Amino acid sequence: MTAMLLNGKELAKKRRSEIKTQVGRLKEMGITPGLAVVLVGENLASVTYVRSKEKACHEVGIYSEVIRLPETITEEELLQVIEELNRREEIDGILVQLPLPSHIREQVVINRIAVEKDVDGFTPVNQGKLLLNEKGLFPCTPLGIIDLLKETGQSIAGKHAVVIGRSNIVGKPVSLLLLHQHATVTMAHSRTVGLKQIAREADILVAAMGQAKKITSDYIKPGAIVIDVGINRDENGKLVGDVDFEAVCEVAGCITPVPGGVGPMTITMLLQNTLQASLWNHHVELAGRIDG
Ligand code: NDP
């Protein structure tokens, strides 16, 4: 193996300890950041994610509350729950765990979250702020990716970044964040022609497609930084990324593993966003690191 491992688990640990310190300082001022997680139904993966988010909040001293709602809840009733959370002062961040049952329109629900409490960064206003490179709350996975890239010690500016995937939660926002860091960005997707050639030109390759081990070593420019966002199960049920890890390690310069790469950073950035929302909501500034 030649590539350097970009250890998201380690970085997440470091960041969570920094967040814990900042939360402690905020508590000394009588303020406890609070996160409300809305869980509709009992989708197994969602229940697991929500549990990890609760645990992570607890670890750093953020107050967390899970609002468990039945699968049968109507869209209007769910909107009322969001409105109530928007009004509650002790709640700085609101997260609606996706996916929602099919009778509920996800974007309608997300749009109802107060912009200043939108710690997932999914509301159109925060997505717009990201586009304009203004201050706002931005999606957690892309924030985690930028933090991991900075850990390499290499400058993002001037590099050619190729992002494979154009979803609103990963592909598009990470492309914008990379652009704001002065990378030259190419976005690729399922209709892209000549993906392999394009990927091979990347100094930074972000794979966010949801296709197990699709990115093989012939997609990689020697020495490239490879960020694997994918979470998939292979034919044996093993958790794998979008990148064929073992083979790509022989060519890449740096690589994130799955698990232990981007995943742990995502929840960490949720904690960071909740802290950030709390600081903004209370008009408090703390010295030290809050964001990248
Ligand atoms: P989506 O399914 O919303 O988007 C996938 C994107 O990949 C689409 O833009 C699609 O193109 C593109 N794509 C699919 N197949 C190909 C292909 N063969 N070649 C090129 N492009 C392709 O997924 P998400 O963005 O939500 O998530 C992507 C992956 O990241 C998933 O595995 C997900 O589980 C994982 N994930 C991991 C997180 C973490 O914390 N580690 C957080 C969020 C997601 P098109 O638009 O044309 O359909």
CATH number at residue 160: 3.40.50.720
Examine the pLDDT at 1 and tell me if it is beyond 70.
Answer: no
For the chain, how far is it from start to end, CA to CA, in angstroms? Answer: 29
CA 170 to ligand 1: nearest atom: 25
* Signed CA dihedral, 222, 198, 128, 274: sign only: negative
Q: Give the range of the structural domain holding residue 102, as residue numbers without chain letter.
A: 30-114
Residue 288 pLDDT greater than 90, yes or no:
no
Per the domain annotation, does 179 fall within a domain? Answer: yes
Q: What is the pLDDT of residue 102?
A: 97
* Domain assignment present for 290: no
- pLDDT of 290 above 70: no
- Asked if the structure places residue 70 within a domain, the reply is yes
**82-107 pLDDT, tens digit each:** 999 999 999 999 999 999 999 999 99
Residue 6 belongs to a domain: no
DSSP category for residue 232: E
pLDDT of residue 286: 86
User: Does some domain include residue 37?
Assistant: yes
pLDDT reading at 140 higher than 50: yes
- Please report whether residue 19 resides in a domain: no
The whole-chain average pLDDT of the chain stands at 96
Question: Does 173 share its domain with 255?
Answer: yes
**3-class secondary structure, 186:** strand
22 noted as active-site residue: no
Give the pLDDT score at 226. 98
In the structure encoding, which two tokens stand for residue 153, read together? Answer: 């010690």
Residues 55 and 149 in one domain: no
Find how far residue 217's CA is from the centre of its chain. 26
Evaluate if residue 291 carries a pLDDT over 70.
no
Q: Tell me what pLDDT residue 287 has.
A: 78
The CA-based angle 57-60-66, given to 5 degrees, is 15
171 in contact with ligand 1, CB cutoff 6 A: yes
Neighbours of 113 (CB within 10 A): 25
Residue written as token pair 């997440």: 12
Residue 292's pLDDT band, with cuts at 50, 70 and 90, is very low
> Do 150 and 190 share a structural domain?
yes
Kindly state whether residue 171 falls inside one of the protein's structural domains.
yes
Do 48 and 144 fall into the same domain?
A: no
Residue 122: inside a domain? no
Q: Ligand 1 mean position to 285 CA, how many Å?
A: 36
Q: For the whole model, what pTM was predicted?
A: 0.97
97 in catalytic set: yes
Rounded distance from Cα 156 to ligand 1 centre (Å): 23
Mean pLDDT value across residues 12-35: 98
The catalytic residue among 53, 117, 159, 172 is 53
- Span 213-267, pLDDT tens digits: 999 999 999 999 999 999 999 989 999 999 999 999 999 999 999 999 999 999 9
The CATH number for 93's domain is 3.40.50.10860
Residue 289's pLDDT is 65
154 is catalytic: no
Name the catalytic one among 22, 97, 127, 272: 97
